[in-house]
Amino acid sequence: MLKRFPYLFLLLPALILLLGVFVIPMLFILVLSFQGVEGQFSLENYKTIFTDVYYWEVLWKTIKISLYTVFFTLVLAFPVAMFMAKTPGKLRGLVTMLIICPHLISVVIRNFGWVVILGETGWINVTLMDLGLIEQPLRFMYNEVGVVIGLTDAFIAYMVLAIATSLYSIDQSLYKAASILGANRIQSFFHVTLPLSMPGVFAGITLVFSLSMSAYVTPALMGGTGVKVIPTLAFEQIMAVLNWPLGAALAILLLGCTVLLVTLFSRLVETKRYKEVFSS
């Protein structure tokens, strides 16, 4: 086969890397999740998860925070992507660099920066109190609000670049045609820009949702002990409680839910039902 398809050699490094850092470790985690107290095969870990309401609440909180993150990244990223699509090459490159630059800094450092801004003695609360707009500091940290803000900051670049890629491919003559037909800017946006940018929007939603579901650092730092999500709960079970089988089961649950939700969303996109919305 390799002689008939020599380009398959190009796939070998990626396949080896994928097998070594993802497939084999996940198979190990899967086997570990079925181990009982004495190392024998057992379904006790999954029984504990599926029969305890606490784990369902944590799972729902994880999904909810991820959906909020997708929404805010989409709302904030779309104007930036449109600006990038309408700017000339040099300025577009500068904007792209500004978007990517924050990701050259560790997410831990960026989260501590948000602590300085959003904390009770942070810049926002101090400014509002000095202006007399509030009497007590607002709570932006160690709750779901802080986690969503941190995740939005962490993943907005993925949404911007995904949407911008679709906007780059739009033929500018379509806007001229829409204008000739009497469409204003708002109508051009809903009938030209938005429908043709849907592939990028869907790609950005998939990326941001998947990354948000598996995020650990931001929920741990900005959510504290008040916000439990599946990644932080799995980490505690493995590193603090030393219950590796239950932590492994939580990791498999997280992976399964993420794959299931992304697959359902992808199937919805493949049916192209969104076109019915725009054509109606």
Q: Return the pLDDT at 231.
A: 95
pLDDT, average across residues 71-89:
91
Q: Which two tokens stand for residue 64?
A: 């909810």
Q: Is the pLDDT of residue 40 over 80?
A: yes
Average pLDDT of the chain, as a whole number: 87
Contact predicate 195/166, CB 8 Å: no
Q: Distance (Å, rounded) from C-alpha 262 to C-alpha 242?
A: 31
| Residue 274 banded pLDDT, cuts 50, 70, 90 | low
Q: Return the pLDDT at 134.
A: 85
Q: Return the pLDDT at 89.
A: 74
Q: Return the pLDDT at 46.
A: 93
| Residue 272 banded pLDDT, cuts 50, 70, 90 | low
Which residue reads 């490159």 in tokens? Answer: 93
Could you give all domains of the chain from N- to C-terminal order, each with its CATH number?
Answer: 28-279 (1.10.3720.10)
**Residues 184-231 pLDDT 10s:** 888 888 888 888 888 899 999 999 999 999 999 999 999 988 899 999
**Residues 130-176 pLDDT 10s:** 888 888 888 888 899 999 999 999 999 999 999 999 998 888 888 88
With 0-12 / 13-18 / 19 or more C-beta atoms within 10 angstroms meaning exposed / middle / buried, residue 30 is: middle
**pTM for the complete prediction?**
0.88
Q: Return the pLDDT at 3.
A: 61
Of 78, 96, 85, 87, the C-alpha closest to 194 is 78
